[in-house]
Structure 1
Amino acid sequence: MDAPAELLRDFVNTYDVQGDTDELASPAELAIWLRERGLISEADRAVDDDWALAVNLREGLRTALRHEHAPDATRDAPAPGPVADTRGPGPATETPASGPVVEAPAPGPVAEAASTRLEAALAALPLRITLVDGAPAPEPLAEGAARGLGLIATAVLRAHADGSWPRLKVCADSTCQWAFIDSSKNRSRAWCSMRVCGNRTKTRAYRARRQQSAPRAS
């Protein structure tokens, strides 16, 4: 299995916001992605319920990362992304009384909603997580694709435990939102690419300031 931050980064990036393309556009594609990363066996398959869980987990992660690390000016913008149709009965799950704990983003109603979305996605997974010697240890309550998604949920806790979670971010440009690992010394990086998204964001801000300061015609 990949390092936790790398696995979470790659999982979030299965949906390209800017190009509106989705690597997990069907249960079959979800199974392929999980299989390629050693999260399920060659014989395992995914069904519609698994796909709904995957999309909700992925977009919950994107939303939480965006509002946890994004500059204040971008916090209130909506987070685009596919939404799984979860109407009807879902898979049978067992949620422990004390489920996965995710560090809350910066205070405020928008950040709290982002955290709640991720926590709800984690709680829906058929996985019990306990601590062994201070490290999260998964106990799958299902097989197949649901178990693979549970291991991705475990990566959230593993990333917190190894200190890599604060370096896992999504691009502050609302039209991009590409996940990346911030390797800068002071963890100050906000864009996946300063040359592209950073300059584009700064240009938009500059134009907005110019419009606000321009004298109005009488």
Structure 2
Amino acid sequence: MGFEFIADRPVLDFLPTLAERGHTDVEQLTAPQDFADWAVQAGIVEQPPHVDDAALRQAKDLREAMFRLVRALIDGTDAAPADRELVNDAAAGPLPELRLDADGVHRTGDTDAVLTVLARDCLELHASDDRHALRWCADEHCTRAFVDRSRGSRRRWCGMRGCGDRAKAAAYRRRRRTSAP
């Protein structure tokens, strides 16, 4: 499966592996191999880690806790202590191992290392200036959070490919209908 990486932050690219939350709830991590593939495609590790059903459940639980933390950050509400504890515990885990060989730097790690990277990125997001620029995509079915780094902070879509393109096409069709004789 090919995943979309448009957020410039691992945590914000991981959260939409459950897409269209509250609408169709499209789960992209349906099998352990899906999470292993996501970790490689995200560039966290080079080789897929071994993921069993328990590790997949752990990854999904962490994803949901991080989603609630990001939602609380955007909405200006208090985060649940259980979500903070789960993310803090995951962030304390081992990081992927970096090794420099003649052909470059290599990243290796197990599922716990991948989850540690994601949890730490979530915590770093809370500590960075990006937290002030977090927004929800304006597409009614998209539940992606993104960092609005646009001039004037007026960006509305998580990305122009997909949500932005659909919105522009719909606006064009509306204009064409209203101007038709």
When normalised by structure 2's length, the TM-score is 0.61
Larger relative contact order (C-alpha < 8 A, sep ≥ 6)? 1
Residue 14 (structure 2) aligned to one of 11, 17, 22: 11
Output aligned runs, 1:97-136, within 5 Å.
106=76, 111-112=77-78, 114-125=79-90, 127-128=92-93
Query: Are residues 1:181 and 2:150 paired?
Result: no
Question: Which residue of 1 is the match for residue 67 of structure 2?
Answer: 62
Distance 1:118 1:186 in 2: 32
CA 1:178/1:153 → structure 2, altered by over 3 Å: closer, same or farther? same
Distance 1:32 1:153 in 2: 18
| Identical amino acids, percent of aligned pairs | 25
CA 1:181/1:43 → structure 2, altered by over 3 Å: closer, same or farther? closer
CA 1:185/1:139 → structure 2, altered by over 3 Å: closer, same or farther? same
SS of residue matched to 2:90: coil
- Structure 2, unpaired ranges of 5+: 97-108, 168-181
CA 1:44/1:68 → structure 2, altered by over 3 Å: closer, same or farther? closer
When normalised by structure 1's length, the TM-score is 0.52
For 1:46, the aligned partner's letter is: V
Q: Is the 8 A contact 1:31 1:44 kept in 2?
A: yes
CA 1:32/1:43 → structure 2, altered by over 3 Å: closer, same or farther? closer
CA 1:5/1:58 → structure 2, altered by over 3 Å: closer, same or farther? farther
Q: Report how far residue 28 of structure 1 moved.
A: 1.2
Q: Is the 8 A contact 1:167 1:183 kept in 2?
A: yes
Structure with higher helix content:
2
Aligned length in residues: 145
Q: Is the 8 A contact 1:45 1:145 kept in 2?
A: yes
For 1:122, the aligned partner's letter is: V
Q: Report how far residue 149 of structure 1 moved.
A: 0.9
SS of residue matched to 1:125: helix
CA 1:47/1:169 → structure 2, altered by over 3 Å: closer, same or farther? farther
Query: Are residues 1:30 and 2:11 paired?
Result: no
Distance 1:161 1:123 in 2: 13
Q: Report how far residue 24 of structure 1 moved.
A: 1.3
Q: Report how far residue 40 of structure 1 moved.
A: 3.0
Q: Report how far residue 176 of structure 1 moved.
A: 3.2
Q: Is the 8 A contact 1:9 1:168 kept in 2?
A: no
Cα deviation digits, residues 38-97 of structure 1 (max 9, x gap)? 323425211122212211222222222223223xxxxxxxxxxxxxxxxxxxxxxxxxxx
Query: Are residues 1:53 and 2:40 paired?
Result: no
For 2:87, the aligned partner's letter is: L
Distance 2:140 2:6 in 1: 27
Output aligned runs, 1:64-103, within 5 Å.
64-70=69-75
CA 1:126/1:154 → structure 2, altered by over 3 Å: closer, same or farther? closer
Question: Which residue of 2 is the match for residue 84 of structure 1?
Answer: none
Aligned Cα RMSD in Å? 3.5
